[in-house]
Structure 1
Amino acid sequence: MTTVASARTRLAAGTSDDVGAFRQRLLDGLAGSIVEVGYRNTTVAEIVRRARTSRRTFYEHFSDKEACFVTLLTDSNAETVRQISAAVDPGAPWASQVRQAVEAWIASAESAPAITLSWIRDVPALGAPARRLQRDMMEAFIVMIQTLCDTEEWRAAGAGPVSRQLTVLLLGGLRELIATTVEDGGQISDVTEVAVQASIALLGPRG
Structure 2
Amino acid sequence: MNSVTGTDFRQRLLDALEECIAEVGYPKTTVADIVRRAKTSRRTFYEHFESRDACFIALLTEANADQVSQIAAAVDPEAPWRTQVRQAIEAWIASGESRAALTLSWIRDVPSLGTAARALQREAMENFIAMVHTLGDTGEFRAAGIGPVSRQRIIMLLGGLRELVAITLEEGGRMPDIADEAVEASIALLTPAAQTH
TM-score bucket (shorter structure): over 0.9
Matched residue of 2:193: which SS? coil
- Matching residue's letter, 2:153: L
CA–CA separation in structure 1 for the residues paired with 2:128 and 2:4 = 30
- Matching residue's letter, 1:98: V
| Structure 2 segments unaligned to the other structure (5+ residues) | none
- Asked if the contact 1:66–1:130 (Cα under 8 Å) also holds between the matched residues in 2, the reply is no
1:151-190 equivalences in 2 (<5 Å): 151-190=138-177
Identical columns (%): 64
Name the TM-score, length of structure 2 as normaliser: 0.94
Per-residue CA deviation, residues 155-201 of structure 1 (Å, 9 max, x unaligned), is: 11012211111111111111111122111222111111001101101
2:115 aligns with one of 112, 119, 128: 128
CA–CA separation in structure 2 for the residues paired with 1:16 and 1:201 = 53
- Asked if the contact 1:158–1:206 (Cα under 8 Å) also holds between the matched residues in 2, the reply is no
- Matching residue's letter, 1:63: E
CA–CA separation in structure 2 for the residues paired with 1:82 and 1:63 = 28
After TM superposition, the runs of 4+ consecutive aligned structure 1 residues lying more than 3 A away are 14-17
- Asked if the contact 1:145–1:167 (Cα under 8 Å) also holds between the matched residues in 2, the reply is yes
Larger radius of gyration: 1
Per-residue CA deviation, residues 3-56 of structure 1 (Å, 9 max, x unaligned), is: xxxxxxxxxxx9995211111111111101111111111111111111111111
Name the TM-score, length of structure 1 as normaliser: 0.89
| Structure 1 segments unaligned to the other structure (5+ residues) | 1-13
RMSD of the alignment, in Å? 1.6
CA–CA separation in structure 2 for the residues paired with 1:159 and 1:121 = 34
- Choose 124-133 or 139-148, whichever is displaced more: 124-133
- How many residue pairs get aligned? The number is 194
CA–CA separation in structure 1 for the residues paired with 2:142 and 2:3 = 46
CA shift, 1:128, in A, is 2.2
Question: Aligned pair 1:76/2:60, yes or no?
Answer: no
- Asked if the contact 1:98–1:199 (Cα under 8 Å) also holds between the matched residues in 2, the reply is yes
